[in-house]
Amino acid sequence: MHFEIQAHRGARAFFPENTVQAFCKAADLGVRVIELDLLVSGDHQLVVSHDPCLGAPHAAAPDGRPLGEKDQGRFCLYDMSYAEIAAFGCGLPDPHFPLQRGIDTAKPLIADVFRQVDAHMLAHHLPGEMIFNLELKSWPDRDNELHPPPDVYAFLVAGQIHRTSMASRVRVQSFDDRLLREVRMRYPELCFGFLVDDGSRLANFRAETGFVPAYVNPYYSLLNTQLVERLHSEGVRVVPWTVNRPEEMLRLKRMGADGIITDHPELALQLEELFA
């Protein structure tokens, strides 16, 4: 079986995370699954963003001033219209990725990401189609503060996927089991993944989700060979996050994982012969 390499928030070694440029660079490298994050604006647009508020290291105010520590928590997406969000830059380079290039861009809408990545691949004659693994960012104790409640959130996500005819090319994953159940109730034919950062939730994933998702995606250090075998025996695939060291990539492949989510797909792709 093919060992899947997912570009975590795009090709982050080259461009700031969750930008169209980072996603297109991942496509250029040969990646065909990109992992990206969704949140909701105050006017109920689906915005591609990992963090619920604009801030360092990537964001700049409309006047170009980089946002810093004093701005922490000031500009939450759910308090802003998308027009207000788009006035802020999100392309400042991250010092944790020394080769990352700064770009002039704003946080995109998911519909624009679908369209622009597909257009890029077509224009550059890149083979295959891109799969989009959508992480729905949600905090159960912050409903109506950082995002809408699960029923509204799920309605927005399901509607967007339907309108863009992307059901066959998206996966929906989240740490929030409530949200997964709500999306599944509206769109049961979608492919779902349960994100896990706690061993007890991993062991009890059926009880947590209330169904058997196609994927259970844990933090990589939670896995061992026996656990991967058990998850496979229950009919789920396993793609851990965030795996950045080549030795860990190879260890997880030998363990039986079905793929990895990585900040460095360019390194993982160099190991493909060993993954085979």
State residue 274's pLDDT score.
Answer: 76
Q: How many whole angstroms separate alpha carbon 42 and alpha carbon 23?
A: 25
DSSP 104: -
Q: Which residue has the tokens 């890029």?
A: 120
Q: Are 79 and 20 in contact (CB under 8 A)?
A: no
Q: Are 198 and 216 in contact (CB under 8 A)?
A: no
As given in the structure block, the two tokens for residue 3 are 């060992």
Q: Which residue has the tokens 């409903």?
A: 143
Domain extents for the chain? 4-53+96-275
What are the mean pLDDT values of the chain's consecutive 10-residue runs (276 residues total)? Answer: 93 98 98 98 98 98 96 97 98 97 98 98 98 98 98 98 98 98 98 97 95 98 97 98 97 97 97 78
Q: Which CATH superfamily is domain 4-53+96-275 in?
A: Phosphatidylinositol (PI) phosphodiesterase (3.20.20.190)
pTM above 0.95, yes or no: yes
Determine the distance from the C-alpha atom of residue 86 to the mean position of all C-alpha atoms in its chain, rounded to a whole number.
Answer: 20
State residue 272's pLDDT score.
Answer: 81
Whole-number Cα distances in Å, 112 to 48, 107, 108, 266, 274 = 10, 10, 6, 25, 36
The phi, psi pair for 246, rounded to 5°, reads -55, -40
State residue 185's pLDDT score.
Answer: 98
